Amino acid sequence: MQHSGVLHLRNGGTSVVLDARDVPLPAIVWWGADLGDLADAELEDLAMAARPQRVSGGIDTPTALALLPQEATGWFGTPGLAGHRPGGRGFSALLCTRDLDVAEHAGQLTGVVVRAADDAAGLAADLEVEVTPAGLVRQRVTLTNLGDEPFELHALAPVFPLPAGADELLDTTGRHLRERSPQRHAFTVGTHVRESRRGRPGADASLLLVAGRAGFGFERGLVHGVHVAWSGNHRLLAERTPTAEAYLSAGELLAPGEVTLAPGASYRTPWAIGSWGDGLDALARRFHDELRARPHHPHRPRPVTLNTWEAVYFDQSLERLTALAERAAAVGVERFVLDDGWFRGRRDDTAGLGDWYVDETVWPDGLGPLIDVVRGHGMEFGLWVEPEMVNPDSDLARAHPDWILRGRADLPVPARQQQVLDLSRPDVRAYLLERLDALLTEHDIAYLKWDHNRDLLEAGSAEDGRARVHENVKALYALLAELKRRHPGLEIESCASGGARVDLGILEHTDRVWTSDTLDPVERLQIQRYTGLLVPPELMGAHLTTPHVHSTGRTVALDLSAGVALPGHFGIEWDLTTLDDAGLADVAQWVALHRRYRDLLHTGVVVNADTPPDRDVRGVVARERDRAVITYTQVTTSVTYPPGRFTVPGLDPERRYAVRVVAGSVADGPGQSPLPWTQRPVTLTGRQLGLVGLQAPVLHPGRLVVLELTAQS
C-alpha cells in the first residue's frame, strides 16, 4: 500500500496516526477514537498541527515525542532506551528510521514495523506498532547489538502519548488477601512510576496505569491505559513534561547486568498494550474482546469447581475426600481439585516442596482410588502444584542446593518457609518437566492449580551470580507450553499466593487466574471489579465459601458469597460434608443458577454502575443486548432509608426490558412494606433503566439480590 510520511492505522474503532516525516523516529500524533477515512493531505495537516514550537530557553530544534524517546533528539524526559558499552561508553544512541514495513487488512493500514539503526552506536531496533481487531494498541521493540563489544541494557520501553485533558491517574496497589486496591492521583508535571521488583507482578502490582479526565468512572469519562504483558519485574510510567507532552509507558524492569547483549544478540520487549474508552468499562471491553478472540481461549463452559483447601487443608484421606466428592457431585460440581498436601513429606507448609511424588503414607494406593471416585461421579480431577518453589526441608533441596536462586553465597531471606528454583537452568527444567509429565501421564488429571507462593529476592544464578528473573519468566512460559503440547486439553490456573501473578503474559499459557486468596465476598467486590479491567469473568476464579470466612473472620450470608462469585469461573471452597440436606440444596440452587446463566456471563459485556460506596451494582449484558444479569449488593448501611434508586448501564436504550428478581431475598422486614416493583414486575426501556432506575431494595448490609432483565418483543 502506498502511503505518505504520515501513517493512519485503524482497527476495532481505534485510530493511531504516526508522523514519520523528517524525524529520527515516528511520533504518535493521535491514539484514540477512529478518525474515519482521511486523505493524505488531511493527515499531513493533522501532523503539522501537532508539531512543537521553538520557545525561549529551549533547544533550537524542538522534537516531538517519538515512539522511543531519545536524548540525542533533545528529549529531557525519561528515555525509551538506556544502556551502555563497557566502561560506561556509548550511553547515547540516535536510532533513525531506515525503513517502514506496513501491515494492512481489507485495504486499511493496521500495523507498522519501523526499522531503525544507529551505525555509529552499533545498534539496530525494530519498533512494532499494531492496532488489533478489538481496538487495542500493541507495541514492542527488538534491540540488536551490531557492535563488536557487549551492550548492557538498562531499560527499553515504548510510549503511548495521551490526548489533551488527561489530568488524573488511576492505578492499583494491594497485598496478600487484598489485591487490586484502586488509588488516584493528580497527573501533574513530573513522573509517576509503578514498579514491581518481586520477580512476579506481585499483589501490590498495578494491572494498568490509566490516565483520564478528573472524575472518570466505569460508566463515563475518556480514559487511556497501558498494561505490560509480562509475568516478571516491570515498570509502568506516566510522565508530563514542562513542554506539555503527556504519555504512558510500559516495559520490563531489568536488574543490573540482567540483559547484556553479546555482539549480534537481540532483546525483545514484552508487548506493551494500550486501551482507551469512554469510561473504564469501555477500556476493559477491548481487553476482554481481544482475549476472547484468541484461538486458544477456553470456549467450552467453565467447569464449576470445588477446591479442597479450605475444606480439609492438610488433613487428607481417601475416606474424607470421597465423602466430599460425593457431596460436590450432588450439588452440581463439575471439577474436583485436590489442593496442597498430597506429595511426599508435605504434612504442613514447612517441608516437601520440590518432591513431586505422591506421598505413600497418606495415599498408600496412590491417587488412583480418589481419581476413580471423582471421575465416577462425572467430575474432572485437578491437582495443586507449586513447581517453581522448594522447601529447604526437602529431598530436592538437600540434593541440589545449587538449584536455588540466590544473589550471594547465602540464601535469600526465606518467605513461607521456602525458596525459589532457578528455572533458567536446563537441569531444573528437565526435572520439573519429567515430574509433572509423569503425574499427568500416570493419572487422569484435567487441570493443574499452579501456585507461586512467595516474592523473589536476590533472584540470581548460583553459577555466576547474575540476575535471572528475565530468564526464569521465559523458562516458565516454555515449561507451561511444553506441558500443554504433551497433554492436549490440559487446563492450568495461574495462582500466586492469590492474585499476585495476573497479567496477559501468563494468560497466554494458562486458562484462568486465582483472583485472590480471600474468599470474603465484601473484599472480593473490589478485587474482582478492578481485576476485571483486564480479565473477563470466565478467566477469574471466584468461589463461594463458608459462612464464617477463614481469611477475615467475617460472617456472610450465602446469597452474598455465591452472588459475588456468580459471574466468574464459579466454584466452591467449603467442607460440604458439614451441611445438612437443606444447606446442600441451597448451595445446589446457586450452582444451578450459575450454570443457567453461564453462557451469558462468560460471553457478554461487563457493566459496572458508578454508585455510592454503600452499594454495588454490576452485571453482564448479552452482546445482542436482549438479556442481562445484574447483582445489587447492599455493602454497608445506607445514609438514607430506604436507600434510593439505582441505575443499570449498558442496555439498549430503545428496547423494553422485563425486570425480575431471580435470587437473593427482598422479603419484608419488620415495619417494612413490600417493594412495589417486585410485587408487580415492571417493564422499562434501557434508557429509563440507565437514567431513571429502580428503587433499591431495603437489605441488611452484606446481602445481595440477582436480577434478570429480558428484552420484550
For the question of residue 60 being annotated catalytic, the response is no
DSSP for residue 343: B
Question: d(Cα 294, Cα 291) in Å, to the nearest integer?
Answer: 6
Run of H or E residues at 29: strand 27-33
Is the distance from CB of 686 to CB of 668 less than 8 angstroms? no
Q: What is the DSSP string of 320-340?
A: HHHHHHHHHHHHT--EEEE-S
Question: d(Cα 183, Cα 480) in Å, to the nearest integer?
Answer: 34
- In terms of residues, how long is the chain? 713
Q: What is the DSSP string of 369-436?
A: HHHHHHHHTT-EEEEEE-TTEE-SSSHHHHH-GGGB--SSSSPPPPBTTBEEB-TTSHHHHHHHHHHH
Question: d(Cα 184, Cα 179) in Å, to the nearest integer?
Answer: 16
Please return the burial class of 654, using the count of CB atoms within 10 Å of its CB with bins 0-12, 13-18 and 19+: exposed
For the question of residue 517 being annotated catalytic, the response is yes
Out of 171, 451, 455, 520, the active site residue is 451
**Which grid coordinates belong to 414?**
526465606
DSSP strands (E only) in 41-177: 81-84, 96-105, 108-118, 123-131, 137-145, 151-156, 159-161, 168-175
DSSP for residue 153: E
Give the number of other CB atoms < 10 A from CB of residue 583. Answer: 15
At 537, phi and psi to the nearest 5? -55, -35
Please return the burial class of 413, using the count of CB atoms within 10 Å of its CB with bins 0-12, 13-18 and 19+: exposed
**Which grid coordinates belong to 144?**
540488536
How many Å from the N-terminal Cα to the C-terminal Cα in the chain?
47
Out of 118, 455, 511, 517, the active site residue is 517
Pairing of the two strands 645-646 and 605-608? unpaired
Is the distance from CB of 375 to CB of 362 less than 8 angstroms? no
Question: d(Cα 577, Cα 290) in Å, to the nearest integer?
Answer: 41
Catalytic (active-site) positions: 451, 517
